Amino acid sequence: MNIFILGGGVFGTAIGNQLSNNPMNKVVLLIRNNAQEIEINEHNTNKRYFPNKKLNKSLSATTEKEELLKAEVIFIVIPSKKIVKALENIREFIPKEALIVNLSKGIFKKGVTIVEYLKKELSTNNVVTMKGPTFSSEMINNAHSIFTLGFKTKDHYTKIEQVIYGTNIHIDYTTDVIGVELLSVLKNVYAILIGIIDAKYNSPNTRFMILTKSFSEIRTLLKELGGKEDSLFLSCGFGDFGITSLNDLSRNRTLGLLIGKGFYKAEYKRNKVVLEGLKTIKVINELLPVETKKRLPLFSKLESFFSNRDLKSFDIHFDSLIDKKMKTVLTYGTFDLLHYGHLEILRRAKELGDRLVVGISTDEFNKIKGKKCQISYQKRKEFLEAVDYVDLVIPESEWEQKEQDIKNNEIDIFVMGDDWEGKFDDLKEYCEVIYLPRTIGISTTKLKSILHNNL
């Protein structure tokens, strides 16, 4: 199989060398430096990155962009900030049927992932992502390494299996492509934080306290930005976060160690590792709703530090960053003909706190309101109790009970749809009141009308 690696740097060389262990692969590094091309092809070395390592003789290099026309698989292994310019130079030589594999880590403005960008710019759906807990210095020495393959079709999976056959590269997999892309970015942010903690405290107890809280925040961010929670438990999630946060080969952890020891200076912002981290934090921060940021004290601390709104030193106040009061959320509804709109408002309500209490109108109360339900109170209650977001279901028998329900259940946040905007502001005396936007284009009334017209 004809494989091209875009990038002859440390990681591109390492993975190209490993893939060339498969005798069915013809692996070529596409690079810009003629001297580097000669060195790889004639001496089987790339001494700038691996001064004491001989590369596989079957691994070759070229500076000729036209060679890409032969490619069946193209691995993107260049810094994210260089991808836009690189594509401008080679776009016309990339075959439409070639499989593009993104190994680069980064995120563009408005939260656009590299895979999304590549699909749009190359007008192709043949783009997958591979991310995992791997250091190039390990891979070049044939250490067994794992990646998560984020893909969409069986053909993509099959082709990657063929590419890695006979190598020391292994894969787990998911169709959550955006989740794989996001996790490769999010783990770098929190690796900086773990480095700071280790430098300042040198305590396993404190390290793993922050590690646990960081993992929880990554989960929140992943879901908020469109990834799937299950991806956290693949190599792109837990594995990559672990190796990046706890191993001194990690550049982001090293940056954290510098900050924690007090060696961080303003001029470090010109450092490429710092620049990547700053860009990532800024982009993510701009995407987050205010309510979500409130649940991310560690992320907010880093964002405040790097944007110069914080003190010069990175001080940790554990009471405010770690300790938190459990928040209970309360909402009400009829929840007849349970549908996606209901699930969305329940999900968003639950994400505002730790425990969700749902009051549903009894059959008797519905008669008072003049509302006719298709499903009885008991069945509606059973449906809601089966939803993961819901912790407790209580009956709503009268309009006036809300104040007492708030007191009885120690409610911190009262939530309703924005069609009730302002109508429950009197409850602000007892708890926070939030009105959430309804899911556009769907309602119980509309569903009933559709069902009626089709009978």
Give the pLDDT confidence of 177-233 residue by residue, as tens digits: 999 999 999 999 999 999 999 999 999 999 999 999 999 999 999 999 999 999 999
The larger pLDDT score, comparing residue 397 to residue 374, is at 397
Q: What is the pLDDT at residue 402? A: 96
Task: Provide the CATH topology of domain 328-453.
Answer: Rossmann fold (3.40.50)
Buried b (16+ CB within 10 A) or exposed e, 419-440: eeeeebeebeeebbbbbbeebe
Among residues 334, 179, 297, 201, the alpha carbon closest in space to that of 288 is found at: 297
The answer to whether domain 179-321 and domain 328-453 are alike in fold is no
Among residues 136, 149, 195, the alpha carbon closest in space to that of 18 is found at: 136
Average pLDDT over residues 157-173: 97
Nearest-angstrom CA–CA distance, 271 and 264: 11
Contact between residue 215 and residue 250 where contact means Cβ atoms under 8 Å apart: no
Is the pTM here over 0.85, yes or no? no
Confidence of residue 309 (pLDDT cuts 50, 70, 90): low
Kindly tell me if the per-residue pLDDT of 443 is higher than 60: no
The 3-state secondary structure of 251-271 reads HHHHHHHHHHCCCCCHHHHHC
Average pLDDT, the chain: 90
Query: Which tokens sit at 409?
Result: 């259940």
Average pLDDT over residues 223-251: 95
Does the annotation count 446 as an active-site position?
A: no
Nearest-angstrom CA–CA distance, 114 and 104: 8
Domain locations in the chain as residue ranges: 2-175, 179-321, 328-453
CA–chain centroid gap for 341, Å, is 24
Nearest-angstrom CA–CA distance, 257 and 314: 11
Contact between residue 74 and residue 101 where contact means Cβ atoms under 8 Å apart: yes
Contact between residue 327 and residue 355 where contact means Cβ atoms under 8 Å apart: yes
The larger pLDDT score, comparing residue 317 to residue 275, is at 317
Task: Provide the CATH topology of domain 179-321.
Answer: N-(1-d-carboxylethyl)-l-norvaline Dehydrogenase; domain 2 (1.10.1040)
Does the annotation count 293 as an active-site position?
A: no
Nearest-angstrom CA–CA distance, 395 and 405: 10
Confidence of residue 21 (pLDDT cuts 50, 70, 90): very high
Q: Which residue has the tokens 């998560």?
A: 148
Under 8 Å CB-to-CB from 20, ≥6 apart: which residues?
Answer: 27, 56, 58, 59
CA–chain centroid gap for 188, Å, is 11
Could you tell me which CATH class the domain 2-175 is placed in? alpha beta
Contact between residue 28 and residue 5 where contact means Cβ atoms under 8 Å apart: yes
Provide the 8-state DSSP code for 313.
Answer: S
Kindly tell me if the per-residue pLDDT of 35 is higher than 50: yes
Nearest-angstrom CA–CA distance, 100 and 102: 6
Given the residues 369, 379, 423, 446, the one annotated as active site = 369
Nearest-angstrom CA–CA distance, 17 and 436: 52
Q: Which residue has the tokens 């060195």?
A: 39
Confidence of residue 279 (pLDDT cuts 50, 70, 90): confident
The one-letter code for the residue type at 223 is: K
Q: What is the pLDDT at residue 91? A: 94
The larger pLDDT score, comparing residue 27 to residue 447, is at 27
Nearest-angstrom CA–CA distance, 257 and 259: 5
Confidence of residue 340 (pLDDT cuts 50, 70, 90): confident
Nearest-angstrom CA–CA distance, 102 and 330: 43
Given the residues 371, 379, 407, 423, the one annotated as active site = 371
Give the pLDDT confidence of 90-135 residue by residue, as tens digits: 999 999 999 999 999 999 989 999 999 999 999 999 999 999 999 9
Nearest-angstrom CA–CA distance, 377 and 361: 7
Helix (H, G, I), strand (E, B) or coil at 110: helix
Average pLDDT over residues 268-277: 63
Average pLDDT over residues 240-257: 94
Confidence of residue 266 (pLDDT cuts 50, 70, 90): low
Kindly tell me if the per-residue pLDDT of 448 is higher than 90: no
The 3-state secondary structure of 204-256 reads HHHHHHHHHHHHHHHHHHHHHCCCCHHHHHCHHHHHHHHHHHHCCCCHHHHHH
Under 8 Å CB-to-CB from 253, ≥6 apart: which residues?
Answer: 191, 192, 194, 195, 198, 244, 245, 246, 247
Q: Which residue has the tokens 């793993």?
A: 208
Nearest-angstrom CA–CA distance, 144 and 111: 32
